[in-house]
Amino acid sequence: MTVLHRQRLYIVLFFILGICIAITLAIVALKDNVNHYFTPTQIANNQIPLNKKIRGGGIVVPGSIQRSTDSLNTNFIISDGVNSVKVAYEGILPDLFTENSASVVVGYVNTQGVFIAKEVLAKHDSYYMPKEVKQAMDKAKESISKQINR
């Protein structure tokens, strides 16, 4: 092996080592930082991990938004057309958060089945429906139509 060959070998080994480190880093980091999405139906049926950060989403039910007058607490209900979940949030809501529009919440579900939201997201574009919410609503509709057909 010439000097040059040995050098090339080292470079290749170094690159492989780098890739291994990167993959390990990525997997470790992903394990803690991925938020799974659950539909209101799944949350209402308790098919969710307790005390783990999750994402939920649905349409904000008209007339369900209750704002406190002296603090930043807000309660509202999100629904996929069949089941619904109570959400409690303390903080400032995004501009596009309104009744009858889609919203995504990030947080925990407590033992009473209330979603304690740490973050509420509504999209830039008021015509845009988050993909997860749309799928959840389609799924819920499907299960209803199946029940009716029976």
Minimum distance, C-beta of residue 10 to another protein, in the bound complex (Å): 8
Minimum distance, C-beta of residue 70 to another protein, in the bound complex (Å): 6
**In 3D, which of 50, 83, 60, 76 has the Cα closest to residue 129?**
60
> Does the CA dihedral 130-102-104-91 come out positive or negative?
positive
94 touches 120 (CB < 8 A) = yes
Residue among 80 and 150 whose Cβ is closer to another protein = 80
d(CA 33, CA 3): 45
100 — alpha (psi -120 to 50), left (phi > 0) or beta? left
Site for another protein (CB under 8 A): which residue of 35, 45, 110, 145?
35
The footprint of another protein on this chain (CB under 8 A) covers a number of residues equal to 44
Residue among 57 and 79 whose Cβ is closer to another protein = 57
Site for another protein (CB under 8 A): which residue of 9, 12, 29, 50?
29
Residue among 65 and 111 whose Cβ is closer to another protein = 65
List binders of another protein among 113-142 (CB under 8 A): 123-128, 130-132, 135
List binders of another protein among 61-120 (CB under 8 A): 67-72, 90-93, 95-96
**In 3D, which of 30, 127, 138 has the Cα closest to residue 80?**
138
Task: List C-alpha distances in Å: 45 to 73, 81, 84, 89, 90.
Answer: 26, 15, 10, 21, 25
List binders of another protein among 40-59 (CB under 8 A): 55
| Residues of this chain that bind another protein (CB under 8 A) | 3-4, 7, 11, 14-15, 18-19, 21-22, 25-26, 28-30, 32-37, 55, 67-72, 90-93, 95-96, 123-128, 130-132, 135
